[in-house]
Amino acid sequence: MNLTGARITSLEAPQATAGVGASSEDPAPAFAEDDFTRHIFSCLLQIALSDASVKGGTIEDAVGLGADDLEALAITFKPDILPLLNSRRRQPEVAFDEEEEQLLDLFMRFRSDTSRQSNWLAAILTRRCMSPNHLWQDLGLNSRVELGRLMREFFPTLAARNVLNMKWKKFFYRCLCEMEGFSLCASPTCQQCNDYNDCFGEETGLSRLPQKNN
């Protein structure tokens, strides 16, 4: 996956709305900015290692990054896994299917900057959206609150669009529908929709990794 070459579609320009970052789920942050970034990337790597081990795939496939990016990510945020990475066969590239390409377009379009870590995060979110649990669980995070903070810090204008606090995966796919100019929704309004709980219900559950503070 060449992150710098991701296709950008015609979604209208992000709205720099007032209240960016506002959320009903938003308690006081548990991590300072740098610690939070280190924490989330550590979680992402740990859940990818776990899934690759359990499912028998490569770590690159689990995290959505080729070997060079995976190594650079580990050097930056979790160097203790380098011996493990270096002990196995490297996978230079990770292939994304059409659905993933569309999600990657969305995240690349709305990332807060063009830094390498923002690009990594766009690819990782894309790949982890393909997993079956709540997204925060499949990112290895401690709670949905942490996913909300991740979105506000790394994809602020996208997060600001989720004013009704939809489930994140549902929200991303709804954005894709808007980009393509159609809707999969069965009802004109969410309030009257039989699928309301699928889109807005709680995303509670246990973390897939041991709870930790850094």
Binding residues (CB under 6 A) for ligand SF4: these are 174, 185-187, 190, 193, 195-196, 199
Contact between 175 and 125 under an 8 Å Cβ cutoff? The reply is no
From first CA to last CA, the distance across the chain in angstroms is 29
Q: What minimum distance in Å lies between the beta carbon of 38 and ligand SF4?
A: 34
Assess contact for 183 and 177: CB atoms under 8 A: yes
The two tokens of residue 146 are: 């942490």
**Distance in Å, CB of 57 to ligand SF4, minimum:** 31
Cβ 163 to ligand SF4 shortest distance, Å: 12
Cβ 121 to ligand SF4 shortest distance, Å? 25
- Please identify, using beta-carbon distances, which residue of 144 and 149 lies nearer to ligand SF4: 144
Q: How far apart are alpha carbons 159 and 145 in whole angstroms?
A: 13
- Of 22 and 185, which has the nearer Cβ to ligand SF4? 185
Report yes or no: 121 and 25 within 8 Å, Cβ to Cβ: no
Q: Which is nearer to ligand SF4, 192 or 213 (by Cβ)?
A: 192
Distance CA 129, CA 105 (A): 14
